[in-house]
Chains A and B, each alone.
Chain A
Amino acid sequence: MNPALKFLVHLDRRWVFLLMALAVMIPIIWRMEFPEIPTPLVRTVFDRIESLPEGSRILLAFDYDPGSEPELQPMASAWTWHCAKKKHKLYFLALWPVGPQMIQATVDSVLKRDYPQMRYGEDYVNLGYKSGNEGVIKVVVSNLKELYTTDHFGTAINDIPLTRDLVNIRGMDLILNVSAGYPGTKEWIQYASTPYNIPIAGGCTGVQAPLLYPYIPNQMFGLLGAIKGAAEYEKALSDQYPEYARDAAGKRRPEFTKGIERMGPQLIAHCVVLGLIVLGNVILALHRRALRAA
């Protein structure tokens, strides 16, 4: 057998790991970027938030942890910025224990930076985390205050203007759920959106996205799937509001264009994976031929 073919047939997988590492690292260092065009699913979500009247009540459920943060934080930030721009009332909560960290990071990096005039308790509120997974959803669609007696910071729920008259979440105009798995968008659809007809849009990881398509459009009107969905949403936002992606001096604001930036290494890595699949099949064919010849 050809020595090169023998090497490839018995290739140590660590060479593949190294190739993958280079495929991701080099585009990051070279800052490779490519154009994005929002697809219809993403455009639907964007248009819905745009069209809601000012002061609409939006529940932002951040159900993810640092493991999925690189994929989901860009969409969480984009949604928060967009809702704040439209002057909607924001209710944050989390079904994952690390969710409150994600909420606080988003509030600090988006609301306190670009919307310092927004007042906690009057324009947005952080209800925090409660354990119980879908059990929490089942309670908040019925009697939110029985479970959330205080917000995340220990202030009585009735002392907060946004939640004083809030009985449950059925009156929400929209649920925007950023989800990394269980519990997440599927549970929000099963226990809140479908039974009570609350409009919901999901932002989820690449692993989850195909599983949520059957809910579109009757049970979930839009979906931001994986980092691509986040990048498309950032593009849509920056087209509509140039100040989102660039500051007054025209300089790029990297913290708000992470989705677009990360699509550069994503593209190269996709090409590498495709190349590896093709190479693997070519090696298989050559190996079989070599064995038959032998």
Chain B
Amino acid sequence: MKRDTIVILLLLAAGAGWLAYRYRSSGVTTGLGYLAIKSDGIPMSVPMHAARELKDATFSWPRTVGIWAAGFFTLAIFSFLYRDNPIYKIAEAAFVGISAAYWMTVGFWAVLVPNLAGKLFPRLIKFGAVPGLDLDKIVEDLARTSWFGWGIDYESANGDGLTAAWWQLMNLPYWLPMILGAMLLWRLAPKGAWIARWPLAFIIGSTVGFRLVGFLGADFVAQIKASIAPLYVPVYDATSGALDFGRTFYQSMNNVLLLAGSFCALLYFFFSLEHKGLAGKVSRVGIWVLMITFGAGFGYTVMGRIALLVGRFEFLVSDWLNVVAR
């Protein structure tokens, strides 16, 4: 066995020994998840020693195994920091499988069932999965707004979804995403990959359509408008009415720097003009502005990443090992 494997096993054994000693001496448990049913019916997981005060708490094997599985996943993924190893790879593989299935399940129940199947086969979905669907309203809306009213007699249903025929409940335009969706799934087939191009084209076309306007409106016009600010901003003292030199200078300086900084940074990105002479000097200032921007970005990124690490360590020391009470 390698030396570092022995060291790790010894550390784990020492940790387990300390936890056993702690249980013997003070009764504090480690990672035993009880199920406690609150009065409003919300189940929650609590550690064993805290559950003793809750009269409705019962021991839960699944939640206990779950907390240990979560601890295993956490340490397994952290082990990659030491070196790549099979434990990490197992955790990573399981994570990949669970996350893909999670996204599929959410997409199915949150969107495909109510928004696709519920539009094409609403009676089936109402009595099968979503009892809240209002069939009467579906029939009324179709009678009022459907583009196919010239060919399909929605009126005869008389707003009665319970006894309407299946074709009076079907929202026909929703066959388009059904067909396009089936074509999209053809991408998995070994042949005929071109079939998936049609739905992809629809997705791409829609994306460029709304992004073109959205970006120009919010990120171009609005940003230019925000840059056009007065370069002299007089601020008057609230009590005496006299000009407050400090605040006036501060506000005015900020607007000047904002406008100048934006302009210089923009000029840096203007590669059609050679960055020589005055243009070169201005774009150099632009680089400096961008460096301050990236420095700020780095500082905030460090902040963001550390917060996530804090959260994970809190799970280890509080939820799993109960070293620190929540």
Other-chain residue from B102, B131, B304 in contact with A207 (beta carbon distance below 8 A)? B304
Contact with A along B212-243 (1 / 0, CB 8 A): 00110111001101100000000000000000
Shortest C-beta distance, B216 to chain A (Å), equals 10
- B residues 291-326 near A (Cβ < 8 Å) are 293, 296-297, 300-314, 317, 323-324, 326
Taken together as a complex, chains A and B put the C-alpha atoms of A31 and B325 apart, in Å, by 10
Q: Which residues of A contact B134 (CB under 8 A)?
A: 156, 158-159
Main secondary structure of the interface of B (DSSP, over half): helix
Chain A residue with the shortest CB-CB distance to B129: A154
Contact with B along A61-105 (1 / 0, CB 8 A): 000000111110000000000000000000000000110100000
Shortest C-beta distance, A103 to chain B (Å), equals 12
Contact with B along A191-220 (1 / 0, CB 8 A): 100110000000001110111001100110
Shortest C-beta distance, A138 to chain B (Å), equals 6
Chain A residue with the shortest CB-CB distance to B302: A273
Taken together as a complex, chains A and B put the C-alpha atoms of A128 and B115 apart, in Å, by 13
Whether a CB of chain B sits under 8 angstroms from the CB of A224 is: no
Query: Which one of B20-28, B105-113, B275-283 contacts A?
Result: B105-113
Taken together as a complex, chains A and B put the C-alpha atoms of A154 and B312 apart, in Å, by 34
Q: Which residues of B contact A269 (CB under 8 A)?
A: 306, 309-310
Chain B residue with the shortest CB-CB distance to A193: B218
A155 and B132 contacting across the interface, CB-CB below 8 Å: yes
- A residues 122-159 near B (Cβ < 8 Å) are 128-131, 134-135, 138, 147, 149-150, 152-156, 158-159
Whether a CB of chain B sits under 8 angstroms from the CB of A6 is: no
B297 and A210 contacting across the interface, CB-CB below 8 Å: yes
B210 and A138 contacting across the interface, CB-CB below 8 Å: yes
Whether a CB of chain A sits under 8 angstroms from the CB of B118 is: yes
Whether a CB of chain B sits under 8 angstroms from the CB of A108 is: yes
How many chain A residues touch B (CB < 8 A): the figure is 65
Shortest C-beta distance, B98 to chain A (Å), equals 12
Shortest C-beta distance, B29 to chain A (Å), equals 18
Chain B contact-residue range equals 35 or more
Query: Which one of A21-29, A41-49, A241-249 contacts B?
Result: A21-29
Chain B residue with the shortest CB-CB distance to A265: B310
Shortest C-beta distance, A104 to chain B (Å), equals 9
Whether a CB of chain A sits under 8 angstroms from the CB of B40 is: yes
Q: Which residues of A contact B102 (CB under 8 A)?
A: 97-98
Whether a CB of chain A sits under 8 angstroms from the CB of B81 is: yes
Interface residues of B (CB under 8 A from A): 40, 42, 81-82, 102-103, 106-107, 110-111, 114-115, 118, 129-134, 137, 206, 210-211, 214-215, 217-219, 222-223, 225-226, 293, 296-297, 300-314, 317, 323-324, 326
12 chain-A/chain-B pairs, Cβ below 8 angstroms: A21-B313, A25-B313, A29-B323, A116-B40, A134-B214, A154-B114, A156-B137, A158-B134, A191-B214, A206-B307, A209-B304, A218-B226
Interface residues of A (CB under 8 A from B): 14, 17, 20-21, 24-25, 28-29, 31, 67-71, 97-98, 100, 108, 112, 116, 128-131, 134-135, 138, 147, 149-150, 152-156, 158-159, 187, 189-191, 194-195, 205-207, 209-211, 214-215, 218-219, 225-228, 254-255, 262, 265-266, 269-270, 273
